[in-house]
Amino acid sequence: MPSLPDVMTPDAAQLAQAAGGEGRAPLETGSPEHDLFTGLTRLGDTTLILGHRVSEWCGLAPVLEEDIALANMALDLIGQTQLWLGLAGEVEGRGRDADALAFRRDGWEFHNLLLVERPNGDFGRTLMRQFLFDAYHLPLLKALEGSTNPRIAEIAAKAGKEVAYHVERSADLVIRLGDGTDESHARMQSSLDALWGYTGEAFIGDAVDARLGEAGVMPAPESLRSDWDRTVNAVLAEATLERPASDFAHKGGKQGRHSEHLGHLLTSMQWLQRSYPDATW
Amino acid sequence: MKPAVEQVWQWLGEVPDPEIPVISLTDLGVIRDVAYEGDTLVVTVTPTYSGCPATAVINLDIENKLRDNGVTDLRLSRQLSPPWSSDWINPAAREALKDYGIAPPIDGTAADGVLAGRIARLGGAGNLVVACPRCGSNHTEKISQFGSTPCKAAYQCRDCLEPFDYFKCI
């Protein structure tokens, strides 16, 4: 496989797609297969980018037990990514496996939520980001268990068991740190305020979501909001944290428009595979 | 050579789990099926956790064991559904886990992500009691939801002070 072109090449996006294509045409935009591929990359890219972010803590967390816990949670997320992106590659039918999708796409081809590419910040901010995501991730997976696509349903059933432990842990820690010392409380409130504008994107559907929802393949994003609200309100109340009033939501991640942070993350995550394609050990 | 399915199960029962070598793959419940498709022996394996790094080693160990016993026409198949449950760890293996220093899963206590009960438990009500595998005391506390691997939580005994892993219910 040839190495990917420089991003300044005018038709880089097309070249990058063709590089993994095995001569087959890309899926047609708006077709059920393209919608399914897009929906699966939204799931897999979100778990991939969050998994990578969380793994950045490995060796750096405040105490050994938390270091191990973060690494294990990252491992769950990367495992789920292999299932989602593996299936996405099968649906696309152009010879790209989970590794090819993870390591050989550029930023504009990633469809993760903006929330998960936010930098880690301090330990409290990482846990707040995790909780805000977990509170959405679990009801999402529960809904996906009822998908009309049996492959999606079985991955969701598997992942849901793991994520139930994630949300318990992140909720515990948000409560302990929020309702902790003055210092930890202030940091958790400022984390919540800083991340809040990135939470709404998960509940805003586009045309792809609408078609997937209609076909019963994936739930309409709007339908997951009330569960999330209930969990977040209960935990924030217990954590003595104040829910921000604004409903303003940054959007674009699901459509491939990202913050600068994703590019920095990808340079680190993809470096080896970009420099030494197909390297093995 | 086409050994009987029962023989294959017996061989697989001799393959230790790569992370917890005191129990076998059949003890762990990850072998879902052994059957022939024509002349091809198909072993169906389910992963414990989707990101469990032992999965690849388990597949390799299965292949090595069967090839060492003369099986040449072999295929491993992955099955995700129904998802693996710690309920499938057999009773003898639970004792072996305890002797090895790992508290076995307490059935029926899997996380459900329902936080109302969880929040109540933070106040001390209804916490899971995990007995210390070393001294048997129930006076233990959870240190972290995740221990040395994703499938275990870290606990410590408040009586004998032993830190230990608890095999989480999933």
- Per-residue pLDDT of B51-95, as tens digits, reads 888 888 999 999 999 999 999 999 999 999 999 999 999 999 999
- What number is the average pLDDT over the span A188-211? 98
pLDDT at residue number B116: 55
Question: Per the structure block, which two tokens stand in for A179?
Answer: 């309702």
How far does the CA of residue A175 sit from the closest CA of chain B (Å)?
A: 9
A149 interaction partners in chain B (CB closer than 8 Å): none
The yes/no answer to whether this complex scores an ipTM above 0.95 is no
Chain mean pLDDT for chain A: 92
Say if the Cβ atoms of A171 and B82 lie within 8 Å.
Answer: no
Confidence of residue A1 (pLDDT cuts 50, 70, 90): very low
Chain mean pLDDT for chain B: 89
- What number is the average pLDDT over the span B136-150? 87
Residue A58, chain B, CB below 8 Å: the answer is no
pLDDT at residue number B81: 92
- What number is the average pLDDT over the span A203-224? 97
Say if the Cβ atoms of B118 and A161 lie within 8 Å.
Answer: no
**Is the distance from CB of A51 to CB of A141 less than 8 angstroms?**
no
What values do phi and psi take at B161, rounded to 5?
Answer: 70, 5
- Residue of chain A with shortest Cα separation from B86: A161
Confidence of residue A278 (pLDDT cuts 50, 70, 90): confident
Per-residue pLDDT for A147 more than 60? yes
A75 interaction partners in chain B (CB closer than 8 Å): 49, 51-53, 150
Between helix A123-144 and helix A64-92 the angle, nearest 10°, is 40
Say if the Cβ atoms of A69 and B170 lie within 8 Å.
Answer: no
B109 interaction partners in chain A (CB closer than 8 Å): none
- Residue of chain A with shortest Cα separation from B149: A72
Query: How far apart are the C-alpha atoms of B108 and B111, rounded to whole Å?
Result: 9
Query: Looking at this protein, which amino acid is placed at residue B18?
Result: P
Query: How far apart are the C-alpha atoms of A53 and B163, rounded to whole Å?
Result: 29
With CA atoms as reference, report the closest residue to B93 among B168, B17, B153. B17
Per-residue pLDDT for A233 more than 50? yes
Give the number of residues written for chain B: 170
What values do phi and psi take at B166, rounded to 5?
Answer: -115, 125
Say if the Cβ atoms of A231 and B49 lie within 8 Å.
Answer: no
Residue A27, chain B, CB below 8 Å: the answer is no
Say if the Cβ atoms of A163 and B113 lie within 8 Å.
Answer: yes
What values do phi and psi take at A79, rounded to 5?
Answer: -60, -45
Q: Report the residue of B115, B148, B156, B168 to disrupt the A interface, i.e. the one with the largest count of A CBs within 10 Å.
A: B115
In chain B, where the domains are located: 5-84, 99-167
Per-residue pLDDT for A14 more than 90? no
Angle, vertex CA A265, rays to CA A89 and CA A229, nearest 5: 80
pLDDT at residue number A9: 42
Per-residue pLDDT for B164 more than 50? yes
Q: Give the percent of chain A with pLDDT over 70.
A: 92
How far does the CA of residue B87 sit from the closest CA of chain A (Å)?
A: 13
> Which residues, including other chains, have CB under 8 Å from residue A176's CB and lie 6 or more apart?
none
CA pseudo-torsion sign B92, A65, A125, B116: positive
Which class would CATH give B5-84? Answer: alpha beta
pLDDT at residue number A24: 79
CATH 3.30.70.260 fits A29-275, yes or no: no
Residue B128, chain A, CB below 8 Å: the answer is no
Per-residue pLDDT for A6 more than 80? no
Query: How far apart are the C-alpha atoms of A186 and A271, rounded to whole Å?
Result: 37
Residue B117, chain A, CB below 8 Å: the answer is no
In chain A, where the domains are located: 29-275
Angle, vertex CA A74, rays to CA B78 and CA A254, nearest 5: 90
